[in-house]
Chain A
Amino acid sequence: MAELTPDAVVSKVKRGEKLDRADLSGILLANAVLEGASFRRCDMVGANLEGARLRNANLKSANLCEAFLSGADLRDANLDNADLEGANLQRALLTGANLSRANLEGANLQGANLAGARLTHAQLDLANLGGADCTGAVLTHADLGECYLGGVKMMKSELTNANLSDSNLEDADFTGAVLADAQLRSVKARGAKLVGAILTKVDLTKANLSGADLTNADLRNSTLTDARLEGANLTGAKVFGLIAKGLQITGIKADWLDNSPNADGSVRVVATQIAAVLTGQAPARLPDDRSANRRYFGRGDVLRNASLQFDEGATVEIESLFEQCTIALGRGTELIVGSDGVLSGCQITGAGNITINGKFFEKPEGKKSSGAAIVGAHQLVVTASGALVGAVQQPPELTRFAFEPGCQLRMRISTSDSERNSLETRNGGSRNGDNKSAKR
């Protein structure tokens, strides 16, 4: 039983008197105005504080086990080391609150607003944070094991070394969150948004990330053994040092991955190699391997009327102006036209992988020699900043194309069949007398 009546508590608070260490267990203070009150080390087990106004209140080390705090205003309150085990905090306002080392085991925080709250070393295992707003919250070293985090908003939150194992993160938004060294074993994170999240050295063993958005996420040195990534988006994800034995990747979406140790984009994994790299069937290429075969043409350089040939396995990056050049690419050679690169009146031949971030223009009408501007490419990607004006002739096995929204194209794509047919027509008909245009 409480040693004070609710009226006495409200009166004391009004007079600015402290209520530290008071026994207020089971007290009924629903909707009471208690802003700035001091309840340090109070026993408030099972207290009814529904809708209470506790902004800036000091509840440090208070015992609030099984307390009813639904809809309470606890903005900027100090709940450091408070015991809130089994408390009901549904829709409570906890923005800017200090919940460091607080015990929230099994607490109901559904729909609560914890934006910017401090929860370092907090105990949140078995808690329900469904739909809660934890944007920018600090949860380093917090224990969120077996938590319900469905639909939680954790954008830009700090969860370094946190434990989220066996939690449900379905449709949660962790965009830009920091989860370095966190434990996420067996999490159910279907459809979770982890865009740009830092997941370095994270244990994601047996995690279900089907349909999750991991665009630009940093997964370096994390463990994804027996994890599921079906239908997940990994474009731009940093995957150096990933341990992914038994990883299921059917239907994953990714235009490219970053396999550089420093996540600086210096080692790109192209779409065709992604499956092999993620499943460990292809060794990660180190920057040293790459630099040995790397050619770079820097900004401000101008190359005219040159014939260049790059062998298989080379990576060629052009930030310069190339005019009337012919470039022959070996099978699998990477040619990247940087955002400042311009290829004007050039021709590229061979089964290379071409990425255009800059500009490519074929020769103007009248100056054209025979043949398309790009012939036989294995892969042609034009990114959002890229522009391509010219004819592209595909090899018999066809070119793999990718275009990002924002790219500018004036392109004529042809197949080797149609090219051959037009040549035969120009030469007076086909050898077999069959003049039908080849249809695929």
Chain B
Amino acid sequence: MNDLKNPGATEKRTLVEEGTTFKGSLSSTCPILVKGTINGDLEAPSLTVAATGSVSGKVKAGELKSEGELSGEFDVDKIVLSGSVKDNTVIRAKALEVKLAVTGSKMQVVFGEVQLEIGDQPTREKAEPVKTDGNGKSVPPPPAET
């Protein structure tokens, strides 16, 4: 997450600075960097939450990178997570990346009570061998679970 450590980046973005708390709906066509706190609904092409930042509410974004604190409902394409995810949070994304912390017993991400819906609905059809009933006839696999 180099961009979190590069505040001098020249691209335009909306910045919620440390010590700032924003309550309400926020919609932006440029990337948002949160170092402070956002409580409310948020829509942006990309959202970056710094280690000092926290976002709570309904979020729709193309890309989400977080080293801070998340809670609420997140609908994103791609999410790169570290930091913490609080209770009662739902994350829906096409792709999720969480790396293991290498040193010590440090957690890369601390998950509370969280629901993750990532990628396509998993199915078992390909991997399972064909089952047969007592008469030797093949039985279709059970429907995919939700």
Contacts and interface: CB of A to CB of B under 8 A. Distances in A.
A401 B79 CA distance: 14
Interface string B121-143: 11010011100000000000010
A315 interface: no
Interface string A222-265: 00000000000000000000000000011111110000000000
17 contacts: A271-B100, A302-B129, A321-B127, A341-B127, A359-B122, A381-B100, A388-B122, A401-B108, A401-B109, A401-B111, A402-B108, A403-B98, A403-B118, A407-B118, A408-B120, A413-B111, A440-B112
A164 to B, nearest CB: 27
A393 to B, nearest CB: 10
Contacts of B103: 249-252, 275
B104 A365 contact: no
A291 to B, nearest CB: 25
Contacts, number: 131
A405 B97 contact: yes
A408 B119 contact: yes
B132 to A, nearest CB: 12
Which 8 residue pairs are nearest across A and B when measured between Cβ atoms? A387-B122, A271-B100, A408-B119, A409-B118, A405-B95, A408-B122, A402-B100, A411-B116
Nearest to B87: A439
Given A275-B104, A439-B86, A440-B84, A342 B124 contact: yes
B78 A389 contact: no
B114 interface: yes
A398 B101 CA distance: 14
B25 interface: no
Q: Place the interface of chain A in its size category.
A: 35 or more
Contact of A252 (B84, B102, B128): B102
Contacts of A365: 145
A439 B84 CA distance: 12
A389 B145 contact: yes
B77 to A, nearest CB: 11
B28 interface: no
A284 to B, nearest CB: 17
A395 to B, nearest CB: 12
A437 interface: yes
Given A275-B102, A389-B122, A408-B121, A415 B112 contact: yes
Contacts of A413: 111-116
A379 interface: yes
A300 to B, nearest CB: 7
Interface of A: 249-255, 270-272, 274-275, 300, 302, 321, 340-342, 344, 358-359, 361-362, 364-365, 379, 381, 387-389, 394, 398-415, 418, 437-440
Interface of B: 78, 84, 86-87, 95-105, 107-122, 124, 127-129, 142, 145-146
Contacts of A399: 111
B121 to A, nearest CB: 7
Given A398-B111, A404-B97, 5 more contacts: A250-B103, A253-B102, A403-B96, A415-B113, A438-B87
A321 B128 CA distance: 7
Contact of B142 (A300, A359, A364): A364
B107 to A, nearest CB: 6
Nearest to B93: A409
Nearest to B80: A405
Contacts of B110: 398, 440
Contacts of B142: 364
A440 B87 contact: yes
A409 B102 contact: no
Q: Which of B112, B117, B121 has most A Cβ within 10 Å? A: B112
Nearest to A235: B99
A358 B122 CA distance: 11
Contacts of B108: 400-402
A414 B96 CA distance: 18
A288 B87 CA distance: 44
Contacts of A274: 102
Given A321-B129, A398-B110, A402-B108, A412 B99 contact: no
A394 B87 CA distance: 13
Contacts of B97: 403-405
A408 B118 contact: yes
A340 B127 contact: yes
Nearest to B146: A410
Contacts of B115: 411-413
> Most chain-A Cβ atoms within 10 A of its Cβ — which of B86, B113, B117, B129?
B113
